[in-house]
Amino acid sequence: MVRMVKKTLAWCAAAAVLAAGGVAGFHASAPGLRRGLPVAQVKPVLATDAVTDDADDPAIWVNAADPNRSLIFGTNKVKAPSGALVAFGLDGKTRQVFAGLDRPNNVDVERGLVVGGHLVDVAVVTERLKHRLRVFRIAPDGSGFSDISSLDHLSVFTDRSGEAAEPMGISLYRRQSDGAIFAIVSPKTGPGTGYLQQYRLEDDGSGRVRAVWVRTFGRFSGTGEIEAVAVDDGPGYVYYADEGNGIHKYHADPDDPEAAKELAHFGRTGFSADREGIAIYARDRATGYIVCTDQIDGNSEYHVYRREGAPGRPHDHSELLKVFAGGADATDGIEIASVGLAAFPHGFMVAMNSKGRNFLLYRWEDIATTGTPVLHMTNGPVLRGLLPGSKPPCEHDWSRHNPATVYRLLGSGDTLPKKIRNFDPSLSKDMLAQVSGVAILEVLINEEGQVESACVVRGLRPDVDPLLVAAVRQWTFEPARSGGKAVPVIMTVTARVPPR
């Protein structure tokens, strides 16, 4: 899972790959249908280095203070000594390998665990053949990670034996009320009732981390296994994929009065293979999308459901909104970041690619706008920071503003611009008949809510794009505010053709 401090990716040294519109060697199968929906084919824009043996599960850590040093974690799922946790930079290149893990399966990251009297960000791995977790401290500057496991106090499923004691899936949950951090863990196999276990992570008194059991919960159909687990921190829900049966939803807080009650069971039909990785695309605290993998060999597909449920029924996620594929082979784990940087202004998804032994990255705007229906995107400003030698997508008119004073990231309690006046582009009848889609533009909005400059990040057609820019320049907004004061901001907006 990804948490608020980690939801982004930088405009990276692989700009040439992004400009080319895809990853070399990418091949997607012909589009099909799932429950009457067309399968949209989305191209990845970046691939990480390959691991040595067997890639399995990704996680994303984003450093908001220095986004250029953010990390993508992935597991090399084999026995020791080759089993490893691997960190990749934002260019997809390997930054660090921690080997010697005994079949590390899944990994997740979380912010703000109290260790040694300090708040630290951690990556936690399931070490399957040792029947335990491993905990790693992520350096605040993104320079690497180090083991802070209390090895004698991280055993899980101690009441079970054999494969039922082997941890596979994991997701971390940070409780909003007190900041307590929990690991929700699934084993290789287990009973029909009480399949998962939940543990509180805490300092063992010596500056290392231990796990304390707090509950056992969760139904299992008995078909396949449960590996994919994802926690949605904001509203406090946990989702897990029952491979042959559907997606289950429970409260993530073990102290919730209805913690033992299953809230939803959806995604029961329409899958061709096992239900695998789950991730959350969060537009705000409550709305967005739940994405679940259909683990198809050669070209896995991803099913999209409404995060907030149906109107008036927040636990009704039964409607399948969209299906897309991305050329990844037999995907296990996926992860999504919902806040972006210049190269990924609306966030991105990472998917395990079995044949390549690596991970593929997809822009959320490509996922949202390729095929039908068009999904919503976060429309927030992007984080400051570019990799050395890289360029932002737009050169704005700085005649009235110092670039250093224009906001690209607003803090908690600040407000984004809100559009109050729209202006449609002046398109000819031929243009309207021939062109359709969603363009993405980056805009500089001043303290009065006026669009001072705009440029196309992703266009529709060379003769149409300038008309979209001209229209967007006439939009007006309620200005962004920081600390109650109106401030200039750079953000991305979308323009649809034909206009609605």
DSSP characters over 163-203: GGG-EEEEEEEE-TTT--EEEEEEESS--SEEEEEEEEEEE
* Alpha carbon distance 394, 417 (integer Å): 19
Q: Which of 267, 270, 272, 323 is nearest to 298 (CA)?
A: 272
Q: What is the pLDDT of residues 223-251, one digit of tens each?
A: 999 999 999 998 999 999 999 999 999 99
Q: Which of 284, 233, 244 is nearest to 267 (CA)?
A: 244
pLDDT given at position 27: 46
pLDDT at 29 over 60: no
Please, what's the b/e burial string for 395-424 (b: 16 or more CB within 10 A of its CB; e: otherwise)? ebeeeebeeeebbbbbeeebebbeeeeeee
Q: Which two tokens stand for residue 66?
A: 């220095």
Fold classified for 4-369? Neuraminidase (2.120.10)
Task: Name the β-bridge partners of 348.
Answer: 337, 363
What Å distances lie between residue 70 and 60, 172, 383, CA to CA? 8, 19, 12
What's the rounded mean pLDDT across residues 15-33?
45
Q: What is the pLDDT of residues 158-169, one digit of tens each?
A: 999 999 999 999
Residue given tokens 């073990």 in the structure block: 254
* Alpha carbon distance 256, 7 (integer Å): 27
Q: What is the pLDDT of residues 95-149, one digit of tens each?
A: 999 999 999 999 999 988 999 888 899 999 999 999 999 999 999 889 999 999 9
Q: How confident is the model at residue 416 (pLDDT cuts 50, 70, 90)?
A: confident
pLDDT at 52 over 70: yes
Say whether pTM exceeds 0.85: no
Burial of 268 (0-12, 13-18, 19+ CB in 10 A): middle
428 CB contacts (<8 Å, ≥6 apart)?
none
Q: Which of 246, 238, 317, 309 is nearest to 279 (CA)?
A: 238
Count of C-beta atoms within a 10 Å radius of residue 178: 8
Q: Which two tokens stand for residue 385?
A: 């920071």
Residue given tokens 């010596």 in the structure block: 206
* Alpha carbon distance 56, 276 (integer Å): 11
Cβ distance 453 to 408 under 8 Å? no
Q: Which of 242, 150, 228 is nearest to 185 (CA)?
A: 228
Domain map of the chain by residue range?
A: 4-369, 403-497
Cβ distance 243 to 224 under 8 Å? yes
What dotted CATH number matches 403-497?
3.30.2420.10
The helix (run of H) or strand (run of E) holding residue 367 is helix 364-369
Q: Which of 218, 359, 375, 169 is nearest to 282 (CA)?
A: 375
Average pLDDT in the chain? 86
Sheet with strand 46-47: strands edge to edge: 46-47, 358-363, 348-353, 334-337
Cβ distance 139 to 145 under 8 Å? yes
Task: Name the β-bridge partners of 419.
Answer: 477
Asked whether the CA dihedral 430, 432, 436, 439 is positive or negative, the reply is positive
Asked whether the CA dihedral 249, 252, 253, 255 is positive or negative, the reply is positive
What Å distances lie between residue 230 and 3, 241, 334, 480, CA to CA? 11, 9, 10, 32
Q: Which of 350, 462, 57, 400 is nearest to 227 (CA)?
A: 57
Q: What is the pLDDT of residues 420-448, one digit of tens each?
A: 998 889 888 888 889 988 888 888 899 99
Distance of alpha carbon 207 from the chain centroid = 30
pLDDT at 4 over 50: no
